Structure 1
Amino acid sequence: MRAILIDWLIEVHHKFDLQPETLFLTVNLIDRFLAKQSVIRKNLQLVGLVAMLLACKFEEVSVPIIDDLIFISDKAYSRSQILAMEKQILNTLEFNMSLPTPYVFMKRFIKAAQSDSKLDQLTFFMIELCLVEYEMLKFPPSLLAAASVYTAQCTLYGLRQWSKTCEWHTHYTEDQLLECSRMIVGYHQKAAVGRLTGVYRKYNTSKFGYAAKSEPAKFLVEETDMIFENNSS
């Protein structure tokens, strides 16, 4: 259910042409709220919409009005329900809106990697694939960001590109990134199939340089499997 919600919110975020920071903060608010407060299934979409509203208030110059949220939810929720959930989320999180998301680290790590627009687009494609996947919550935001940059480098250039500069700025070695990177490659391989294809369709456009069409770095998965086999033996 979380994956369906995040996939849909990525589309909503794109439709409203919001800032990248807003998407990452939205997901952060959702996960922190759900870690403290259980909600019934029919209200999960409401949590997502209100989290995006709060993120917009924190990051955007122009904030979508509540009527917009009611419309995109197909009038599933009323104005009073949206306002009540806004209050509940803020009280549950004790108004703590300013925690580092993967985006904060991405900006620095991309610069350290001496990235160009092609690597930028592919890196963001990688990390948005991670946002949808619940199992990626086990990784710290900084590691997710570093692994996304690393995986994008390998995808584009076919060789390991993790320089000493990248290692110094991220505080992660190449070996520390391999497990996360391997999982990202797996998501890339299946991004165009199944029900949750919002990220793929978003990045399979000229606006994002058709980043989704890049051939997955399968050799990373194969290399990592060999490393794990050698270590176990």
Structure 2
Amino acid sequence: MGDSDENNPNVFGPSYVQANAATFDVVEGASTAAGNVVSRADHRRKALGNVDQNVMGVQPKKRGLSGKWSVQSLVKRQLHLEETKESNSAVSNVNDPEMECQTTSSFSGSVFEMKVEPTEDVDQMEIEVQDMMSELVIDIDREDLNNPLAVVDYIEDILSYYREVENSTCVLPNYMMQQQDINEKMRALLIDWLIEVHYSFKLMDETLFLMVNLIDRFLAHKIVMRTELQLIGLTGLLLACKYGDVRVPLVDDIVLMSKSLYTRKQVIDMEQMMINALQFNLFAPTMFLFIKRFIKAVQRDKKFELLSLFFIELCLVEYEMLEFRPSLLAAAAVYTAQCTLDRVKNWSKTSEWHSHYSEEQLLACSSLMVSFHQKAKSGGLTAVYRKYSMLEFGRVARCEPAQFLLETNT
């Protein structure tokens, strides 16, 4: 094969990242107890009917049926209501003298005469049932009912909480206007370089997205100089690792990644400054927390998952994507990945149900992702493309961009 060093594990190694750290500096400068309770049993036992009189509790949560059983239940309930309605009308007419006379006179006819409903109504009902069956939302948690780590009983409540608080942890899309010594391009260079640092440390995916969120929130809160920007980025990475990663780099490793541009004391002081500015609130519902659920709703292979992650990592570098909420970006990435692989628009009812976004709401954001995909290989910000062009990530970055999304959105 004619590939270069794309599959070399050292492509984003420490030496490569350190070399790029110098490049970053050059470009940057050039840019302007429950305890056990034991009770004694009373010899006088109460009747079973009185056992639960003093029990106070919430009503059990009613769960809807899924699949064809929910449709059959709906049809049976409708038929039962119609039969009950007819029987009630018949009973109300018993006491009517005129109706009684009519019944007596007509009873002399055939005793077993029955009124037959037209078959058109039955056929129409079957068609409606089939339409409802085709529009049902798939139960994506069915296979995880016995998996306690999947928390299927609470996952929807968790996602609902994420949607409620995501706006409070987002920054204004124009926060860079208050900065006097840095701009959007410097931010893009920083994030692009930090993606390489993140990969060289072999950190978790969610750490990368939390790191970018912490950096943006701090820059939106405090005016900084360009000489501090790289220190802020590395410190944001350190805080994100301490919050939720199993691997936490040492402060000396952070200093080494900066090629000794900063001292150990400077890193510690910046860590204190950032965590105070953030008021010790490091949590944020990032794109990664949403996209894992949305990927599960699609139920496709590993290549699709990697391609979806490729699109949201492209969004990390682009300052203009701060305009969209994390949940919308995650849903748009999943939609764009499906369109890229299938070469047609594809957004199912199941995906719409779990993401809370329709296809029309995703088109604007998705078209931007396609444009990022087209230019990802060229220019100075190629860390994401090179990362997802490796065999480890399925080389999904080399997929043909879904240009038809750009044409339909114009």
1:151-166 correspondence to structure 2 within 5 Å: 151-166=336-351
Which of 178, 186, 202 matches 2:387?
Answer: 202
Match of 2:322, SS state, is helix
Which runs of 4 or more aligned residues in structure 1 lie more than 2 Å from their structure 2 counterparts after TM superposition? none
Q: Which has the higher contact order (CA 8 A, sep 6+)?
A: 1
Does residue 26 of structure 1 match 2:211? yes
Deviation at 1:115, TM superposition (A): 2.6
Deviation at 1:62, TM superposition (A): 2.3
Q: Which residue of 1 aligns with 2:377?
A: 192
Q: Which residue of 2 aligns with 1:222?
A: 407
Structure 1 residue identity aligned to 2:305: D
Distance in 2, Cα, partners of 1:140 & 1:62: 28
CA contact (8 A) 2:203 2:247 kept: no
1:1-233 correspondence to structure 2 within 5 Å: 1-225=186-410
Distance in 2, Cα, partners of 1:74 & 1:149: 38
Q: TM-score, normalised by structure 2?
A: 0.55
Structure 1 residue identity aligned to 2:377: A
Structure 2 residue identity aligned to 1:214: C
Q: Which residue of 1 aligns with 2:128?
A: none
* Largest Rg, 1 or 2: 2
Deviation at 1:59, TM superposition (A): 1.3
Structure 1 residue identity aligned to 2:189: I
Deviation at 1:81, TM superposition (A): 0.5
Structure 1 residue identity aligned to 2:248: V
Q: TM-score, normalised by structure 1?
A: 0.96
After superposition, what is the alpha-carbon deviation per residue over 1:17-51, rounded to whole angstroms, capped at 9, x for unaligned?
10001000000100111111111001101000000
Unaligned 5+ runs, structure 2: 1-185
Distance in 2, Cα, partners of 1:125 & 1:96: 28
Distance in 1, Cα, partners of 2:230 & 2:247: 22
Structure 2 residue identity aligned to 1:20: D
After superposition, what is the alpha-carbon deviation per residue over 1:56-104, rounded to whole angstroms, capped at 9, x for unaligned?
0011122100111111111110011000100010000000011100000
How many correspondences in the alignment? 225
Distance in 2, Cα, partners of 1:178 & 1:76: 43
Distance in 2, Cα, partners of 1:159 & 1:179: 16
Distance in 1, Cα, partners of 2:257 & 2:203: 15
Structure 2 residue identity aligned to 1:73: S
Worse-matched range after superposition: 110-119 or 137-146 = 110-119
Percent identity over paired residues: 59
Deviation at 1:152, TM superposition (A): 0.6
After superposition, what is the alpha-carbon deviation per residue over 1:148-190, rounded to whole angstroms, capped at 9, x for unaligned?
0000100011111100000000000000000000000000000
Structure 2 residue identity aligned to 1:108: R
Q: Which residue of 2 aligns with 1:230?
A: none
RMSD value, Cα: 0.6
Distance in 2, Cα, partners of 1:104 & 1:62: 19
Structure 1 residue identity aligned to 2:391: S
Unaligned 5+ runs, structure 1: 226-233
Per residue, is there more helix in 1 or in 2? Answer: 1
Match of 1:161, SS state, is coil
